[in-house]
Structure 1
Amino acid sequence: MAAPEPSSPAPDLPLLDEHRIAIDAPRDRVWAGLCRWSDTLGIGDRHPLGLLLGTQPRRGFERVELVPERVLGFAGRHRFSRYRLTFELAEITPVRTQVTARSNAEFPRLRGRAYHALVVGSGAHVVSVRRMLNSIRRESLKD
């Protein structure tokens, strides 16, 4: 499958944070788990939050980067932010893989700064990313 062309937002968005998790599984298995999990990323097309925020795409994320067994990137935007979420896989040992989740985002204008305070300042973003990584771990360890 060819990698999709990068779209808005640009990959040069400011770094928000990075989180890592080590998974006791080979990289190909973690990649499969990440891909299964990524099918659930975002919100439903009719979810009220998407309408309230004005998410583009409607689910909140679109795949913008794919390097098999190495990188899977998503991007999106809404009224208060442009953002990118990138997952990178690195082999620690043949049976242990590190997954790095990198968030880049910008929060323009006063409303964007208020949204940043609400979502990032409250710690909700960190909780959300940790849940994502733990979900990826569970998917990777399924038989």
Structure 2
Amino acid sequence: MDIAALPYVDEHATVVAAEADAVWRGIGDALDHSFTPGYARLVGCPDRTPSGPRPPARGSTMPGFRVAAADQGRELTLVGRHYFSTYALVFRLDAAGPGRTRLRAETRARFPGPLGALYRLLVIGTGAHAVLTGRLLAGIRRRAEQVR
């Protein structure tokens, strides 16, 4: 999948009081506990169960996503598709000072056809995506800061 060809949706960020390695482990743990197989099945995602190495590496899966690229401690690219969308979620980690890491989550997605447009309205237009991404980042931050 050509991620750069997917339209940009948004980016959310947080600063974590932990080194990048702890944040990386926090991402893997949070992803394994954030997405449900039931929803993935309902919307027709081909990847419905967790598989592969942890922390996530290229080819690992979790409900709704497959790891397309993993540069440990720097960037994790997840891709997915279902009946209403083709999408990517890219986590980027940057140094933010001693013992601190800036974690960013960029979403890109295409929502084809009338049902895709309706799905976009329900997920993006209502703000639900922003709330859920914020919760995901907060969960990663909590996990990483507990591990320090």
Name the TM tier (shorter chain).
0.7 to 0.9
Figure out how many residues of one structure are paired with residues of the other and give that number. 132
CA contact (8 A) 1:27 1:94 kept: no
Residues 64 and 41 (structure 1 numbering): CA distance in 2 closer, same or farther, change over 3 Å? Answer: farther
Counterpart position of 2:56: none
Of residues 10, 13, 17 in structure 1, which corresponds to 2:10?
17
CA contact (8 A) 1:86 1:101 kept: yes
Greater mean deviation of Cα atoms: 78-87 or 52-61: 52-61
Counterpart position of 1:52: 42
Q: Provide the C-alpha distance between the structure 1 equivalents of 2:86 and 2:145, rounded to a whole number of angstroms.
A: 32
Q: Provide the C-alpha distance between the structure 2 equivalents of 1:31 and 1:91, rounded to a whole number of angstroms.
A: 13
Which one has the bigger helix percentage? 2
SS in 2 for 1:127: helix
Question: How do 1:110-121 and structure 2 match up within 5 A?
Answer: 110-121=114-125
Question: How do 1:97-136 and structure 2 match up within 5 A?
Answer: 97-136=101-140
Question: How do 1:32-51 and structure 2 match up within 5 A?
Answer: 32-44=25-37, 47=38, 49-51=39-41
Q: Provide the C-alpha distance between the structure 2 equivalents of 1:14 and 1:125, rounded to a whole number of angstroms.
A: 15
SS in 2 for 1:74: strand
Greater mean deviation of Cα atoms: 52-61 or 109-118: 52-61
Deviation at 1:51, TM superposition (A): 2.9
Q: Which sections of structure 2, spanning at least 5 residues, go unmatched?
A: 49-62
RMSD: 1.3
Runs (4+) off by over 6 Å: none
Identity %: 36
Deviation at 1:41, TM superposition (A): 4.3
Letter in 1 for 2:8: L
